[in-house]
Structure 1
Amino acid sequence: MPLVMMTGLPSSGKSTRAAELKRLFEERLAQPQNQHRTMAVQIVGDSTLGVLHSAYATPSAEKMARGALLSAVERLVSRETIVVVDAPNYIKGLRYQLYCIGREVSTTQCLVHCAIPVDVARQINQRREDGYDAPTFEELAMRYEEPNPAAKWDSPLFTVIQHDPDDVLPFDRIWDAVVEQRAPAPNFATAMKPVTETNYLFELDRATQEIINAVLEAQKSGVPTFEVVVPGTAEKVKLPGRSLTLSELRRLRMQFTKLNRQVPLKIDKIPVLFVNYLNINL
């Protein structure tokens, strides 16, 4: 049932903590009096998927690696399995996508942040035979987005100081958050509505396409702009300082549509939520 996401800089010890978590979960689940003892524990991440560090050297290779991770999590997450996602998860957009996968199947989840100073992580990475090459390490470190406990996809957040023997995993709190707590309602609980609305998919496609068209039209004007007002919402799409391509916008639209096909949103909430999704992932 639970989804535990790891995050941290390269060489911050995510895999070490993930393995420790798996061992602790299995030990507690094995206790005869534990009512959850039928659950299994599974680690999924770069090492289990055969993703090499070189996958983070180019945008296209990294995109494929993210796709493989998301697909694997979708296959594994269930009410009978604790899934520990041992991957960099260094941008909030990917953490948001993982969060949405968990909400789709109505599971609890949490984020474990392996905190470490960049200089220390760099030194550890340089000493490792299987470390990232220097340019890739610096790129990942520069783009790393620290988790924000105020964001729903980064909460509940547990931070551990890596390579500090006195800083132990707060396992009891993690266990309580993801095993003992009741699972939330699937996907955007406050925006759900009954599936009896037959025109939902039509409205989902229409509203998201209108927003894509608005962004493309604003870019065609040739006037520099950093925000685009879109129909159906007072929210604005915040442009990333470059022109967005049609294929890029289509990809994000398809991802949003896939995440929200099975558990419908309120139709009047679709534009707001899609704009928020774009702003997180652009």
Structure 2
Amino acid sequence: MHDASTTTASSSDTRRPDESLSMADCQACADVFEAVRVFADLRAIKLYRLEVPLDPPVPGLPCLDHEAMLHEGIAPHAAAYVETHDDGELHEIVLIPSRRRVEIDTASTVHEHSSEGRERLLGRLRDQFPDWTLSVNGLSWVRGDRRVARACRAQVPLREVLSGNDFDQLEVSLDRLRTVGALMEKQSRVASWSVRTVTGPMLAVLGFLVYQGLGRLAPQVGGVAISGLQAAVVGATGALFLYFGLKAVHLTEMANRVWKRASEYRLILDERRRLVPIDDAKTGRSGHQQQHE
């Protein structure tokens, strides 16, 4: 007779190593987040290839930044927006359990915390998790972190998304933010196509004029000097068009990030509505507030 207990044991024994590792990573993240709750409220979590059960639950969503990347080589991780109890500042904590690493990402919480508050948070994390490596991810000029943060904050602050009471107004603000992202993307297309259209003909005409016009001065000035001047003029013009092309690509990247930020805010808002009863959603009370009551 077939023993059911034997079946259960054998199925658990034949679990793939990566599944066991993933379960261990999920539990490690859950343990860290529960410890963080001692000094901060978890406002929302973002997950990449992990499942982190929490009780009481908090709004959860996929990590859009890494789900939408071209290459799939990112380690599974979990991120959380936390609001510290003592100063009310917002921070984003990223956990990479396979590397025993904790990162504080500042790009999403610009203007929501101070450098002193970040140092206090680092001290608490260092005391709570001495075996984990801690680091701070600063702002990137290449990715346009500050401009993205300003564009998002001008329409809807992160704090309002995480704990705001007026859901209808938040919907309006998110629509505006998506509109801003769409317009940024369209502007980048205009700039990109303008550069593509103008660069070739302009360089051809300029090259012809430079080489024909300056070439006539070669007997008086010298062939070497004229050749250098011709190359410098054409090269400088090409570099100028390259600059505008890169600016268009840069704007496309920022527009994409604004759009993803708006989508992230939308998912957080939907999760908040799902977790809060209808009557409390109208008054803006969260589950955390209900517990204190």
- The structure with the largest alpha-carbon Rg is 2
Query: Which has the larger share of helix?
Result: 2
Report the TM-score when normalising by structure 1.
0.29
Report the TM-score when normalising by structure 2.
0.28
